[in-house]
Structure 1
């Protein structure tokens, strides 16, 4: 046997591979493309990594691209209205945003540089291929793969309330929109959201902008325009839906390049985490192979990192890596994933009255503003707050703090 087989070189797969390597457990990483191909590809996402994720990276010794320009120590939340509701919060552990075409190849080089084995497949594997690989490993962990994911891990209907996308997404890297190292979260009720963050890219620090459009609403058409027209349409949309961003946009706002644009839609889904393979072995799903949340709360990579860490520690505790192991590990991962999933799904709906109460308090009290923005780094507590009128009342009724 050759230890653990891992499918996928996203944050989940690479975190798992590097953590197992650190713990002295052999792992083989199966990837569609090598580091050079990852560097030259299209924009895969616009991701911010937060406190707990960064702490795990420090423990792994994989800190990269720590330019101050892409470290966000504050964030502004603005809700369109007359007057608008808005506030700026301070973040104790800055958010960090790096183009994954830089970050993931760096992690892959870390893994191979420390002696890790990588197999480049060239094409996305199907379930039959995962089953063939399983003959050489004690356990297969699937962290990515369109075909294998759909075939191995069916939708968990009890944990998946949506059957269609709730937003149409347009993400791009832009020049001419400089707010410095601040995260900007703009809500246009009934229309969608526009998120902006400074990101380290192949062109230096630039603005990553994600438009989350309610299907059929006024923000959606940007998702269908030719790439050459996207920046102009974004400039047209900002004054009406994200006026604070519009104030800082230059007349020369431009998309950095044709490959610096990503468009599509995500149906939020939780899948069954364990698949039984021919021959008696199992495959365990982690990361996007297991749970795909809308990026509205920025938790995808952070949740993937957390679940990979849990899986690594479970593997390190020893086998046998059968069905019972898979389900027990999945339940431990769900303890972390459930708050993220419930919170993100709640944000896709109109806010409850107690949530508006919390945001109104944040607009007048710096301590509450700081707390609200810190919640993005602590999704378990975030859901405890956003799901509880009693917890919100406790927060807003306590005396103002420093």
Structure 2
């Protein structure tokens, strides 16, 4: 079989960004998807994520800016650390965070790809390594950006970069009505978990996107296990009680009379085990498979970096692929090394934030509560993870930030 172009498996933000950018750069590409655009639009909520300015800039560069709706941008971020008294501050974002339901965004990107002549192959659900091996024969390189079976079978866990063997949080993500929208809200209940909330553009218009991250076995966890379908009133009552106890600043903006999920399909419950996988697989066809996005790294969403890292890595891979082959193991490993320059700090930062803050980070948070410069500086770190981790991982650099000014 004559090989041509690049195969991309998966239509999350990584796979779609990679395929669209390759098309823009003149590279022949075939995209393999488990779902059509219409199936994506009609599915369950896949996540609640904020896309930051570099991700949005990449989308604009590709001519793929969608749903830039007034009200769906967070221009401020408020950090609240529960205590007596609470430690709180609000920072102004240099560039707003944007949140849109991926059941809208991803099919829009897929439509962009097909409208520009991109080849699309709709596959059976959850293809495995055998299917990827088969597809690889038709391509010079195959990039795996999603897929439960294929990921587990092709890319084993990298033990040196994966300190966790079990989920560190139990998760409840959802879209809600009855919440006054007011920027991005990051709430920490020490020893219990975190609750995030932000405005999102959804299939029903503007709504509140919210994520509960509960420490397993702690007092936040029960709400992540409740069934809304079985007991809608009990679910809403328990969630509101949870917010009042663990995220009072969100609870203050809730109207109890209208607070509820948009619908049963607008909730996502589960847990993820943070893991880094080996990024390159040798296939029986003689080809190489390269992992990007969630196929390579799954971090806990505690620092909000998943979609942004996936977009970044896809862009890095596209730029390298466009330079030409041979697309051998040496090429794939060099791409992985380049992606790790961002992925490494993101991963270490996410794992660190699953633990209580060390003394120097706590000092920074205390400083931000009384100094607007530090407050603004801290919240803008979320859009610059390499810089953020360079500060947060180094007590001396943190101290320098606390005592110096531009």
| Alignment TM-score, normalising by the size of structure 2 | 0.97
Equivalent of 1:363, from 337, 360, 369?
A: 369
1:45-95 per-position Cα deviation (integer Å, ceiling 9, x unaligned): 001000111111111111000012111100100000000000000001100
Map 1:17-28 → 2, pairs under 5 A: 17-28=19-30
The residue number in structure 1 matching 2:285 is 279
Distance apart, 1:239 and its partner CA: 1.3
Distance apart, 1:232 and its partner CA: 2.0
Distance apart, 1:179 and its partner CA: 2.5
Equivalent of 1:244, from 218, 225, 249?
A: 249
Where 2:357 maps in the other structure, the secondary structure is coil
Distance apart, 1:279 and its partner CA: 1.9
1:312-370 per-position Cα deviation (integer Å, ceiling 9, x unaligned): 01101110111111111111111110000000000001100000000000000101000
The residue number in structure 1 matching 2:198 is 197
Residues 145 and 293 of structure 2 are in contact (CA less than 8 Å); yes or no, is this contact kept in structure 1? yes
Distance 1:178 1:159 in 2: 40
1:238-296 per-position Cα deviation (integer Å, ceiling 9, x unaligned): 11101111111101210110000000001000000000000211100000000000001
Unaligned segments of structure 1, at least 5 residues = none
Distance apart, 1:112 and its partner CA: 0.4
Map 1:80-95 → 2, pairs under 5 A: 80-95=82-97
Where 1:2 maps in the other structure, the secondary structure is coil
The residue number in structure 2 matching 1:157 is 159
Equivalent of 2:383, from 353, 361, 377?
A: 377
The residue number in structure 1 matching 2:303 is 297
Where 1:250 maps in the other structure, the secondary structure is coil
Map 1:194-343 → 2, pairs under 5 A: 194-227=195-228, 228=232, 229-251=234-256, 252-343=258-349
Distance apart, 1:172 and its partner CA: 0.6
Distance 1:191 1:129 in 2: 42
Residues 78 and 84 of structure 1 are in contact (CA less than 8 Å); yes or no, is this contact kept in structure 2? yes
1:113-163 per-position Cα deviation (integer Å, ceiling 9, x unaligned): 111011111311100100000110000000000000000000000000111
Equivalent of 2:104, from 72, 83, 102?
A: 102
Residues 14 and 293 of structure 2 are in contact (CA less than 8 Å); yes or no, is this contact kept in structure 1? yes
Equivalent of 1:167, from 155, 166, 169?
A: 169
Distance 2:324 2:81 in 1: 49
Residues 169 and 210 of structure 1 are in contact (CA less than 8 Å); yes or no, is this contact kept in structure 2? yes
Unaligned segments of structure 2, at least 5 residues = none
Where 1:15 maps in the other structure, the secondary structure is helix
Distance 1:353 1:304 in 2: 31
Residues 230 and 255 of structure 1 are in contact (CA less than 8 Å); yes or no, is this contact kept in structure 2? no
- Asked if 1:117 corresponds to 2:119, the answer is yes
Map 1:59-70 → 2, pairs under 5 A: 59-70=61-72
Distance 1:21 1:238 in 2: 45
After TM superposition, where is structure 1 displaced by more than 4 Å over at least 4 residues in a row? none
Distance 1:16 1:225 in 2: 37
Residues 232 and 253 of structure 1 are in contact (CA less than 8 Å); yes or no, is this contact kept in structure 2? no
Where 2:91 maps in the other structure, the secondary structure is strand
The residue number in structure 1 matching 2:352 is 346
Residues 223 and 242 of structure 2 are in contact (CA less than 8 Å); yes or no, is this contact kept in structure 1? no
CA RMSD of aligned residues (A): 0.8
Distance 2:247 2:96 in 1: 23
Distance apart, 1:39 and its partner CA: 0.1
Distance apart, 1:237 and its partner CA: 0.6
Distance 1:110 1:179 in 2: 30
Distance 1:361 1:223 in 2: 33
Where 2:198 maps in the other structure, the secondary structure is strand
Distance apart, 1:234 and its partner CA: 1.2
Distance 1:282 1:124 in 2: 20
Where 1:248 maps in the other structure, the secondary structure is coil
Q: 119-128 vs 141-150, which deviates more?
A: 119-128
Residues 144 and 289 of structure 2 are in contact (CA less than 8 Å); yes or no, is this contact kept in structure 1? yes
Aligned positions, number: 399
Distance 2:4 2:208 in 1: 43
Distance apart, 1:223 and its partner CA: 1.7
The residue number in structure 1 matching 2:16 is 14
| Alignment TM-score, normalising by the size of structure 1 | 0.98
Distance 1:333 1:327 in 2: 10
